[in-house]
């Protein structure tokens, strides 16, 4: 089977690595250059999107901000999964919120803002503090504002109005600020036959809006059941095929959906070492119509993102708990360059391993480890 991925970043790369043992060939369409490349070497393989679409058995995406004209061409081929609607919902917070409401899953109160009058109305309805997010194009906490006091409205509105002018069809979604205890996410797969395979919840730490540490949760049956019910509601509503990630706020044991990602997700990278079948393989299994693989936890596992760094100390490379995954990207400050999956026999041993690893790592490149 040949799978074309829209987007040629680390997620396509890890799909390619996971596909090889199953004889699934993955190739990637680089949306910024228009080249069809090999996901590992970035070497150009085919000329143009149309050739790639003809060559592919299945088409999928590694990110949600795919231009709609490209999605339309892929949809026309009838080879695209999960569905172009799911990708669009992941890339536009207005569609995403409508989907959450339609599926009946709890989410933060919100309002759509185009004008200053909309913003004032949102402040009255939702109250302060609030989080303001760009409807289109947001990721890693970019395109967001925190509005805490009424005296900040003037300045933030000026910035937002300027921001909206830069992109067609842009808007702002105003959300109540959720005083969460922690953030968790759920990665699940839905097959063509409607069967589902869902991983244990993951607890996530974000630093300056970027995911820095994920830990697979052990136990937590009540929370897991809540999350799985919301997964099934969303996946069924979308008639979804593939891996779908859902980010939640945990407020006193009650989950609220923050956002969805219609693709494999950074908070699921731990599954490469911590689960029977990793998220990348399960996504490929789903879209190619194979039976889904087991999502059982093998052992307590955490994932640390490597941000803006292209070297690791020998102590980390030699640590038997650590599994290193580089993305082969050029070094830039704050950029996701790779990740480390840490495995241990017990949750306590995993926390010890994290503390030990923290001693060897720069807190700037590994911000989440400072609290361990």
Of 27, 37, 103, give the one whose Cα is nearest residue 60: 27
Residue nearest to ligand ATP (CB): 178
Is 50 labeled as ligand-binding?
no
Do β-strands 172-176 and 202-207 pair in parallel, antiparallel, or remain unpaired? unpaired
Is 177 labeled as ligand-binding?
yes
Is 176 labeled as ligand-binding?
yes
Residue 67 CA to residue 31 CA, distance in Å, equals 9
Q: How far is the CB of 92 from ligand ATP (least distance, A)?
A: 12
Residue 203 CA to residue 246 CA, distance in Å, equals 12
Exposed/middle/buried for 109, CB within 10 Å: 0-12, 13-18, 19+?
Answer: middle
Q: Residue 140's binding partner, choosing from ligand ATP, Mg ion, none, with beta-carbon cut-off 5 to 8 A by kind?
A: ligand ATP
Q: How far is the CB of 183 from ligand ATP (least distance, A)?
A: 5
Is 175 labeled as ligand-binding?
yes
The DSSP string of 87-98 is HHHHHBHHHHHH
Q: Residue 278's binding partner, choosing from ligand ATP, Mg ion, none, with beta-carbon cut-off 5 to 8 A by kind?
A: none
Q: Which is nearer to Mg ion, 247 or 250 (CB)?
A: 247
Is 242 labeled as ligand-binding?
no
Is 281 labeled as ligand-binding?
no
Contacting Mg ion within 258-287 (CB under 5 A) = 259
Is 259 labeled as ligand-binding?
yes
Q: Which is nearer to Mg ion, 247 or 281 (CB)?
A: 247
Q: How far is the CB of 123 from ligand ATP (least distance, A)?
A: 15
Contacting Mg ion within 234-253 (CB under 5 A) = 247
Q: Which is nearer to ligand ATP, 131 or 312 (CB)?
A: 131
Is 348 labeled as ligand-binding?
no
Q: How far is the CB of 76 from ligand ATP (least distance, A)?
A: 28
Contacts of 83 (CB under 8 A, 6+ apart): 238, 239, 240, 241
Q: Which is nearer to ligand ATP, 8 or 211 (CB)?
A: 211
Q: Which is nearer to Mg ion, 176 or 259 (CB)?
A: 259
Q: Residue 206's binding partner, choosing from Mg ion, ligand ATP, none, with beta-carbon cut-off 5 to 8 A by kind?
A: ligand ATP
CA of 74: how far to CAs of 137, 192, 241, 344, 358, in Å?
20, 18, 15, 42, 44
Contact present, 85 and 234 (Cβ < 8 Å)? no
Q: How far is the CB of 348 from ligand ATP (least distance, A)?
A: 27
Q: Residue 327's binding partner, choosing from Mg ion, ligand ATP, none, with beta-carbon cut-off 5 to 8 A by kind?
A: none
Contact present, 109 and 175 (Cβ < 8 Å)? yes
Length of the chain: 372
Q: Which is nearer to Mg ion, 134 or 288 (CB)?
A: 134
Residue 134 CA to residue 160 CA, distance in Å, equals 9
Is 144 labeled as ligand-binding?
yes
Of 292, 288, 289, give the one whose Cα is nearest residue 2: 288
CA of 308: how far to CAs of 75, 272, 367, in Å?
36, 22, 11
Q: Which is nearer to ligand ATP, 30 or 176 (CB)?
A: 176
Contact present, 68 and 95 (Cβ < 8 Å)? no
The owner of tokens 């990793």 is 278
Contacts to ligand ATP by CB under 6 A: 108, 131, 133, 138-142, 175, 177-178, 183, 206, 209, 247, 258-259
- List the end-to-end C-alpha distance of the chain, in Å, as a whole number: 44
Q: Which residues bind Mg ion (CB under 5 A)?
A: 247, 259
Binding site feature residues: 93, 133, 138-144, 175-178, 183, 206, 258-259
Binding site feature residues for ATP: 93, 133, 138-144, 175-178, 183, 206, 258-259
């Amino acid at each position: 089977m040949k799978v074309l991925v829209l987007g040629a970043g680390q997620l396509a790369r890890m799909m390619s690595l996971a596909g090889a043992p199953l004889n699934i060939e993955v190739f990637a369409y680089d949306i910024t250059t228009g080249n069809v490349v090999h996901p590992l070497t970035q070497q150009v393989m085919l000329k143009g999107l149309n050739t790639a679409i003809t060559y592919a058995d299945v088409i999928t995406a590694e990110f949600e901000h795919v231009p709609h004209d490209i999605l339309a061409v892929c949809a026309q081929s009838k080879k695209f999964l999960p569905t172009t609607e799911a990708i669009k919902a992941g890339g536009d917070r207005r569609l995403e919120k409508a989907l959450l409401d339609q599926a009946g899953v709890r989410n933060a109160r919100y309002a759509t803002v185009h004008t200053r009058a909309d913003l004032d109305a949102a402040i009255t309805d939702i109250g302060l503090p609030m989080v303001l997010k760009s409807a289109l194009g947001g990721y890693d906490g970019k395109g967001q504002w925190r509005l805490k006091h009424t005296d900040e409205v003037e300045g933030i509105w000026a910035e937002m109005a300027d921001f909206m002018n830069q992109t067609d069809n842009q808007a702002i979604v105003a959300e109540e600020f959720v005083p969460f205890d922690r953030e968790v996410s759920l990665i699940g797969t839905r097959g063509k036959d409607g069967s589902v395979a869902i991983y244990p919840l993951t607890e996530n730490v974000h630093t300056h809006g970027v995911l820095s540490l994920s830990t697979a949760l052990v136990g937590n049956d009540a929370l897991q059941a809540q999350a799985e019910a919301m997964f099934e509601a969303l996946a069924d509503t979308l008639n979804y095929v593939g891996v779908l990630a859902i980010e939640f706020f945990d407020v006193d044991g009650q989950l609220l959906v923050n956002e969805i990602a219609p693709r494999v997700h950074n908070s699921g990278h731990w599954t490469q070492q911590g689960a029977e079948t990793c998220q990348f393989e399960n996504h490929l299994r789903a879209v190619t119509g194979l039976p889904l693989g087991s999502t059982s936890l093998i052992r307590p596992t955490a994932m640390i993102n490597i941000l803006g760094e292209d070297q690791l100390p020998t102590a980390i490379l030699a640590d038997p708990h650590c599994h290193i995954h580089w993305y082969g990207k050029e070094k830039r400050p704050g950029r996701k360059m790779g990740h480390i999956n840490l495995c241990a026999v017990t949750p306590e041993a995993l926390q010890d391993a994290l503390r030990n690893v923290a001693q060897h790592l720069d807190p700037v490149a590994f911000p989440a480890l400072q609290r361990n």
